[in-house]
Structure 1
Amino acid sequence: MTELDLSTREGRWKHFGSVDPIEGTKPVVKEEMTDLQSTNKNFLFDIEEVGIKNLVYPVKIDDYQTAGTFSFSTSLTQDEKGINMSRILESVEKHYDNGIQLNFTSLNEVLRTLQTSMKQSAAGVDVSGKWFFNRLSPVTNIKAIGNADVTFGLAIDGDSITRKELTINAAVTTLCPCSKEISEYSAHNQRGYVTVKAYLDKDTPLNDNYKEIILDAMEANASSILYPILKRPDEKSVTERAYENPRFVEDLIRLIAADLVGFEWIEGFDIECRNEESIHQHDAFAKIKYRK
């Protein structure tokens, strides 16, 4: 048995069980390797979606760079065994410019590249990221960075857009109407988490501030908006506004729905509000779905 030189990495690796590579017989050049995914014969069924999930990639939302979590898919016909998944990343890289711009125009361009590269009729993407924006305190007007979670969903088939969705999740303050009604003074409040999934008209151009419009419907109808920075005059304003605008979770989703239903570029929506109750051990929630 050969004595190993433990002063070298190779020696230490072999000491811990590593072995030398074998002399293989299979090709090492790509053009000579078998491409199983490109096998063509009857594979019984078409597949609507096949692709990758949990791809984390730099993205840009408006003025800020952040991280996006992507899910990409394409269709697959009955006579094809599989897709070449590396082409998904290659398609994304073609549109990378210090981040992928998160808007429906840029995502549509990525999908068109993916559609061509994969030689498939249908392609889709869902991508979630943290949306940062400037927010002023309500009285002192001190600027700081607020945030909400956004998810873009887009799908195409041939030349048509088949799915166009925007989901926003934001935190708000809700003050309990019942507590205010029955108490001699004060009322309990809590942090509420509002999620709106908006199904957007596939053919109607969007205003530049469409995200802000939806977020405003979510926040303005709550007892109070949340702010990054509050000085004493701001805190007084926020506290009093919440007391003046008590909201059950049921109230909040109905008021948001009343705003959203008036926008022609929204075909429908799902709304959920979940309150982390401050005087209970459970949460309260309400959901509503609406289609025009």
Structure 2
Amino acid sequence: MEELDLTTREGRFRHFGSVDPIEGMKPVEKEMMVDLQSSKKDFLFEVDSVGINNLSYPVVIGDYQSVGTFELATSLRKNEKGINMSRILESLETENNGGVPLEFNTLQTVLEILRARMHQEEAEMTADGKWYFSKPSPHTQLAGMAHADVKYSMRISDSGVEHKQLGMTAMVTTLCPCSKEISEYSAHNQRGYVKVLLDIDPEAELPEDHKEQLYEILEINASSQLYPILKRTDEKMVTERAYENPRFVEDLIRLIAYDLVELDWVKGFELECRNEESIHQHDAFSRMSYQK
């Protein structure tokens, strides 16, 4: 039995079962390797989307770097076996400069590069991230970091942009109207979540402050807003504003919908409001969709 020197890494590796590489018979040069993915024959069906998802990647949203979760894909013709997955990340990397800017212009550039490198008719991408921004308190104007979840989705073809969506989830305060109505004092309130997915008109010019516009619509229609920092005078304003503006989830979703309909760059939307009820073990929600 071979005597192993356990003071060396090689000896320890062998002690735990490592062996020498075998002398292989297959080529090691790329030009000599078989490319199965590029083989062509009748593979029965076209594929709508094939690619990668659950990809964590640095992004820049607004003024701050964040982390995005990506899905990227292309179409696949009936006579092609597969796509070259490495080209997906190579395409995304072309726009990485300390993070990929999470905005439609950048995403379209990535998709055009991806579609060209894959030699496919269509390419699509969805990216989720957390948008951070500075938000001052209502009275003392003490700023802290607030956040909302955002989603960008796009699909392009050889004829241009086919699909364009913007999503956002924001947190708000809601105060129960019936609780205020029946109680001698106080009313129960809770944190609410407002989630919207907008269908964007591909021909419309998107405002530079589209995230800010959407966030304001989601917040301003609630009973009150959430803030990173609140001093006593701020807290008084926040709680009194909530009491002055009671909202059922049904109220909130209708008020938000009205403002969304007035945005000329929006073709339609899906909207959901959910309250983490403070006097129940269940949540309350309302949901709607609308197309102009």
> What's the TM-score bracket when you normalise by the shorter of the two chains?
over 0.9
**1:115 pairs with 2:115:** yes
Q: Which runs of structure 2 are paired with 1:221-236 in the superposition (5 Å)?
A: 221-236=221-236
Is 1:36 paired with 2:64?
no
Cα distance between partner residues in 2 of 1:92 and 1:259: 35
In the other structure, the counterpart of 2:5 is: 5
1:137 aligned residue? 137
Alignment of 1:162-181 (within 5 A): 162-181=162-181
Aligned amino acid, residue 198 of structure 1? L
The match for 1:48 is 48
1:152 aligns to what SS in structure 2?
A: strand
Query: How many Å apart are 1:63 and its aligned residue?
Result: 0.9
Aligned partner of 1:87 in structure 2 is: 87
Match of 1:192 in 2: 192
TM-score normalized with structure 2 length: 0.98
Output one character per residue of 1:20-47: Cα deviation in whole Å (capped at 9) or x when no partner. Answer: 2111101111111110000000001111
Aligned with 2:95: secondary structure?
coil
Structure 1 CA distance, aligned partners of 2:22 and 2:275?
A: 61
Q: Runs (4+) of structure 1 moved beyond 2 Å? A: none
State how far apart, in whole Å, the 2-side matches of 1:217 and 1:98 are.
31
Note the alpha carbon deviations across 1:221-260, whole angstroms, 9 max, x for none: 0011100011111100000000001111111111100110
The answer for the alignment partner of 2:268 in structure 1 is: 268
Q: TM-score, normalised by structure 1?
A: 0.98
The SS at the match of 1:96 is: coil
Shift of 1:281: 0.8
Across the aligned residues of Structure 1 and Structure 2, the Cα RMSD in angstroms comes to 0.8
Q: Structure 2: any 5+ residue segments left out of the alignment? A: none
Q: What residue is the counterpart of 1:205 in the other structure?
A: 205
Which amino acid in 2 is paired with 1:141?
Answer: Q
Three-state SS of the structure 1 residue aligned to 2:138 is coil
Shift of 1:159: 3.0
Q: Distance in 1 between matches of 2:85 and 2:215?
A: 35
In the aligned structure 2, how far is the partner of 1:113 from the partner of 1:62?
Answer: 24
Q: Which letter maps to 2:119?
A: K
Unpaired segments ≥5 residues, structure 1? none
C-alpha distance in 2, partners of 1:87/1:122?
15
Partner of 2:161: 161
- Higher mean C-alpha displacement, 56-65 vs 73-82: 56-65
C-alpha deviation, 1:17, in angstroms: 1.8
Q: Distance in 1 between matches of 2:160 and 2:94?
A: 22
**Aligned partners of 2:163, 2:239: CA distance in 1, in Å?**
41
Distance 2:284 2:226 in 1: 19
Q: Which amino acid aligns with 1:23?
A: E
Query: What's the CA shift string for 1:34-67, capped at 9, x where partnerless?
Result: 1000000000111110000011111111211111
Partners of 1:52 and 1:24 lie apart in 2 by: 31
